[in-house]
Amino acid sequence: MCGICGVFSINPNSPVESDVLQQMVDSIIHRGPDEEGVFCQPQIGLGSRRLSIIDVAGGQQPIPNENKTIWIVFNGEIYNFAELRRFLHTKGHQFQTHSDTEVILHLYEEFGTECLEYLDGIFAFAIWDSTKQHLFIARDRLGIKPLYYAEVNQQFIFGSELKALLKHPEISREIDLVALNEYLSFEYVPTPRSIFKDIRRLEPGYFLVYGAKGLIKQKFWDVTLARSELRPPMHWRDYSKQLYQRMRSIVQKELVSDVPVGVLLSGGVDSSIIAALMTELYPGRVKSFSIGFQESSFDESPYARMVAKHLQTEHHELILTSKMAADLVPDIVDFLDEPFGDSSLIPTFLLSKFASNQVKVVLGGDGGDELFAGYPTLTAHRLIEYYERVIPWSIRTNIAPFLLDWLPVSFNNISFDFRLRRFLSGRGVPHLTRHHRWLGSFTDDEKDLLLQDWLKPVLQDTYTQVYRHIRECDAMLPLNQILYADMKMYLEGDILFKVDRASMATSLEVRVPFLNRDLVSFVSDIPFDLKLRRLSGKYLLKKSFKHMLPSEIFKRPKKGFNMPVAHWISGELRNLTLDLLSKDRIERQGLFNYSYIHSLIDEHFKQQRDNRKLLWTLLVFQLWHSRYVSN
């Protein structure tokens, strides 16, 4: 696992500057503290920071082919590299290292851009081909590893993190206003935009080639859900054995490593299944890591302890106090180079830091919700249909909003009043818009109050990315379309972004077996009603693995990895909130209306309304802005 960056210049008046390349490499040292590598010529510069996992003694990057006409920098892991290496040997390729990085290089020599079809793993890489005078860049199918790029003044600049590109003098820090609008709604900036106008993200499942003909971008993979809608009704047992065997095989190959591997254990269904399979396959006792909270409504550590005891893992637990977490908030922009409003970034970072003291690699349960319809919002879509059919229009319109105003406000995790307000905010809204409204932060009506008048034209673009993905989706069922959109947006833009930034900030590699290409392909063919059965999510998954874990794990309600930010804003972060959202700062910035922000703060401090999501989204943006724009 590594961090990569580079510059390719086709402008003869702007050769690659070695000191700029070095600054780019230095900016991502946290992604690879073990080694540094640089390859620099007037036209091309490649840089790498390496976290040594495979071929620890060798495998230094950048790596060339035999005659040094092709060079590669790579971030990720290729799980089938050993069999690919054997195949390439039969074709006459000679290897200098035992790394998976070099396998990609020779696979490119053999198949060109079609080499991507053969890679089973998580990856973002760049290959400089001097014979063709072009740069070939690719990103894995689900977007597990990040890749940013910019095309400025006939120079192509790329990196694992946005901060690497910002070291290049040609890159502007002008905010993309459409991206800002999207951030306020989704709590992240959806791909392909970034928060800066010059910089883009390469979409998952895409590659690009940059050379004398300019930039050519092409999709090499997409998930298909159409077959799941064409199958006849089937029993869960028809898939159970295959699912178990595939999961077991995938976990086994994702354990490949020359260093110890652990597991992040939340006590939820997904991470518990991964831990259970690891205990069957890992040579030695599995180390599990979890995090607990002093606030009981947020704490899931008893479930993690229960699983660890049942599986007899070597369990390590960190108990988090509000002060520990709140003290970290002003510093989160040290590893965030874009505004990101998901507060679970903080416990993810602290858990990663805790685990990295003992292991370099962990497996996690991310992706299970997207594959098996595990999010409560999917159940809520069905409930709101019942609500709108059964409850008369006059009650929904006149009485329900009145009753909401009388509900006592609670700052606890997913409190009743919070859930009810979010649920009712989706009434009368198209299902795709409703879904992202439930998951996200500001609605368009709220942004109309927040944004200054000159910014309001961007409001029309809020859900453009959602509907673009649905046009590309081959499913017809609305809830299947939501699963597809979640894989393209929420999974990649929120969950995987969070895990990558939090873990790599502590030099920890996180692998995600649920998102292995083989499992995604298999599960995508499974009928939707075996994923969400009536109001029960992950139906097939739970049935298939119920024999491996305590029954309480499958019966417990889903909480999510949330943080008590509502309490923090009124308590430990009160002064920081008032400072970052002060009238002077807001008016100097020229983006938001202070009067509306003041009303949000006032309501929250008086506990008249729980404005945690809106205020946290703004607070993180202000922290980011003060570091990357104001300065």
Check residue 128 and report its DSSP letter: E
CA 554, 555, 560, 561 dihedral sign is negative
| Burial of 584 from C-beta contacts in 10 A (0-12 / 13-18 / 19+) | exposed
The answer for residues whose C-beta is within 8 angstroms of residue 438's C-beta and 6 or more apart is 377, 380, 422, 423, 425, 426
Query: For the chain, first and last CA: distance in Å?
Result: 31
Check residue 565 and report its DSSP letter: H
* Tokens of residue 46, six digits: 């490649």
> Please, which residues bridge with residue 128 across strands?
71, 135
Give the C-alpha separation, 94 to 104, whole Å: 13
| Burial of 332 from C-beta contacts in 10 A (0-12 / 13-18 / 19+) | buried
| Helix (H) / strand (E) containing 593 | none
Give the C-alpha separation, 335 to 297, whole Å: 28
Which residue is catalytic, options 2, 5, 40, 115? Answer: 2
Q: What share of the chain is helix, strand, coil (3-state, %, to 5)?
A: 50, 15, 35
Query: Pairing state of beta strands 155-159 and 2-9?
Result: antiparallel
Query: Pairing state of beta strands 63-64 and 214-219?
Result: unpaired
Estimate to the nearest angstrom the gap between the alpha carbon of 204 and the chain centroid. 11
- Residue 2 annotated as catalytic: yes
- The one-letter code for the residue type at 455 is L
Number of Cβ within 10 Å of residue 171's Cβ equals 19
CB 1 within 8 A of CB 509: yes
Give me the active site residues, please. 2
